[in-house]
């Protein structure tokens, strides 16, 4: 048994190196497949990080009238925090709002002067609410509208909820996020299936070239495992070499993309992502390569063994 396996592996290695051109072209085709699989991983990551950034930017800001009491606001904050949809709520007091406002317009003397003229702080305090999912803002906003707390004067302390101004934008964004996730998934599946089929066909061709050899082996009295084994070993080697090449090619590619991407997605650097997830990507690429190579060879050689 051990001798049998040893001979199959040795024979597979010899076939691989002596059939140089066939091996070379199979590796190239498989390289494309693995590159597609790798790119799918990267574009998935880009999409996710972009979506995360966008989601992060969406929130509801509830601005209160200047006469609202801090105690009431904090009370409301606690109630909102208790909602299951809410991720967090942050409170900005009137004084803080003024400081932020002054900082933002630090260069604009006119506005600062106008502020001086007013004397009193014209800004109300506010609550920034972040939901877990963009689609949940609607219910949070509705909650606020129904629960509208009244101040001592009997008037609502809420000045405005910006959700209703931003509603269409937020709705659109949730839609885009939803459909881009779905579309990404479908494109991934289609691309992967296509490239796997192309690889499978290439390996089938490589074995088709050897069909006469297979018939000679049968005639000499070799059993199927002994005929098929070396093809499977060669297939695994195609996968292995293609995977290593793919991983190497991703180094300069991601480095280059990282520079470009910085201009578009401030938060995403493909190279850093590659480095920090290297083990995972390495495993996916190697396992895919070896599996595609082995399974294609196994299935393709079966035809000629009947």
Query: Which residues sit at the interface with other proteins, rule CB under 8 A?
Result: 3-4, 7, 14-15, 18-19, 212-213, 216-223, 226
- By the 8 A CB rule, do 77 and 90 touch? no
Compute the least distance from the CB of residue 288 to other proteins, in Å. Answer: 28
Map tokens 């799918």 to a residue.
Answer: 40
Compute the least distance from the CB of residue 226 to other proteins, in Å. Answer: 6
Tokens of 154: 């009997």
Compute the least distance from the CB of residue 224 to other proteins, in Å. Answer: 9
Compute the least distance from the CB of residue 212 to other proteins, in Å. Answer: 7
Nearest-10 Cα torsion for 27, 29, 33, 36: 110
Question: Which CB atom, from 18 or from 263, has the smaller least distance to other proteins?
Answer: 18
- By the 8 A CB rule, do 33 and 61 touch? no
Residue among 156, 126, 147, 173 nearest 82 (CA): 147
Report the distance separating Cα 227 and Cα 210, nearest Å: 11
Question: Which CB atom, from 33 or from 234, has the smaller least distance to other proteins?
Answer: 234
- By the 8 A CB rule, do 73 and 297 touch? no
Compute the least distance from the CB of residue 219 to other proteins, in Å. Answer: 6
Tokens of 157: 């302390």
Burial of 157 per CB tally in 10 Å (0-12, 13-18, 19+): buried
Compute the least distance from the CB of residue 220 to other proteins, in Å. Answer: 5
Question: Which CB atom, from 223 or from 259, has the smaller least distance to other proteins?
Answer: 223
Give the number of C-alpha atoms closer than 13 A to the C-alpha of residue 192, restricted to the C-beta side: 15
Question: Which CB atom, from 8 or from 292, has the smaller least distance to other proteins?
Answer: 8
Question: Which CB atom, from 19 or from 121, has the smaller least distance to other proteins?
Answer: 19
Question: Which CB atom, from 16 or from 241, has the smaller least distance to other proteins?
Answer: 16
């Amino acid at each position: 048994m051990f001798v049998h396996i040893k001979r199959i592996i040795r024979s597979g290695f010899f076939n691989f190196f002596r059939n140089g051109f066939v091996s070379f072209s199979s590796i190239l085709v498989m390289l494309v497949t693995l590159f597609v699989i790798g790119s799918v991983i990267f574009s998935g990551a880009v999409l996710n990080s972009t979506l995360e950034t966008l989601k992060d930017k969406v929130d509801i800001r509830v601005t209160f009238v200047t006469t609202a009491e801090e105690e009431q606001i904090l009370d409301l904050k606690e109630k909102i925090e208790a909602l299951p949809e809410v991720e967090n709520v942050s409170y900005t007091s009137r004084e803080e709002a003024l400081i932020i406002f002054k900082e933002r317009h630090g260069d604009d003397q006119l506005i600062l002067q106008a502020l001086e003229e007013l004397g009193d702080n014209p800004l109300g305090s506010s609550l920034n609410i972040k939901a877990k999912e963009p689609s949940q803002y609607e219910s949070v906003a509705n909650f606020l509208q129904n629960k509208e707390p009244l101040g001592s004067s009997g008037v609502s302390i809420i000045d405005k909820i910006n959700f209703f101004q931003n509603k269409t934008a937020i709705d659109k964004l949730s839609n885009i996020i939803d459909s881009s996730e779905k579309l990404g998934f479908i494109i991934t599946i289609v691309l992967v299936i296509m490239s796997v089929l192309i690889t499978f066909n290439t390996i089938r061709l490589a074995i088709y070239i050897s069909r006469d050899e297979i018939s000679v082996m049968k005639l000499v009295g070799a059993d199927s495992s002994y005929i098929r084994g070396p093809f499977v070993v060669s297939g695994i080697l195609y996968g292995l070499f293609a995977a290593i090449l793919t991983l190497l090619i991703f180094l300069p590619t991601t480095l280059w993309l990282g520079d470009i991407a910085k201009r578009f997605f401030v938060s995403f650097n493909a190279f850093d992502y590659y480095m920090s997830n290297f083990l995972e990507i390495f495993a996916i690429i190697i396992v895919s390569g070896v599996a595609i190579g082995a399974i294609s060879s196994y299935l393709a050689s079966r035809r000629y063994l009947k």
